Amino acid sequence: MAMRYLKNVTTLQLDSDKCTGCGVCLTVCPHEVFKMQAKKAVIQDKNKCMECGACAKNCAFDALTVRAGVGCATAVLVGLVKRTEPQCGCQTESSCC
C-alpha cells in the first residue's frame, strides 16, 4: 500500500522557472512525488510527500523548497501513541526513523 499523508498540508513547492530538468529529484524522492513533463520536473502527487527534504537538499538549482522533518515528526508521535516503531515510509539506508 502506498503511503499517503494528510491532504494539502505538505510544504513542498516547486519553482518550474528554476528547474533545469536534471532529474535528480526523481531519483532521490522515495515516494515518487515527481515526474518529468516537457523536460521539467512536475509534482504528480503532492500528498505522497512526507517532507523528508531529500529533493530540496539535492536540487542544485534551488527549484525546490520544503519544510523538512514535519512528516517524520508525525510518524514518531504516532509511534509513541500506538507504542509501535515509527513508520514514516522511508525505510532506506538513510532513513530518518
Positions that interact with ligand SF4 (CB under 6 A) = 12, 14, 19-25, 28-29, 31, 33, 41, 49-55, 59, 61, 63-64, 66
Task: Give whichever of 4 and 82 is closer to ligand SF4, judged by the CB atom.
Answer: 4
Task: Give whichever of 28 and 76 is closer to ligand SF4, judged by the CB atom.
Answer: 28
**Percentages (nearest 5) of helix, strand, coil residues in the chain:** 25, 10, 60
The grid cell for 37 is 513533463
Give the phi and the psi of residue 25 in degrees, each rounded to 5.
-65, -35
Please give the span between the terminal C-alpha atoms of the chain, in angstroms, as a whole number. Answer: 19
> Is residue 49 helix, strand or coil?
coil
Q: At closest approach, how far in Å is the CB of 83 from ligand SF4?
A: 26
Q: At closest approach, how far in Å is the CB of 85 from ligand SF4?
A: 19
The grid cell for 36 is 518529468
Q: At closest approach, how far in Å is the CB of 68 from ligand SF4?
A: 7
Task: Give whichever of 14 and 83 is closer to ligand SF4, judged by the CB atom.
Answer: 14
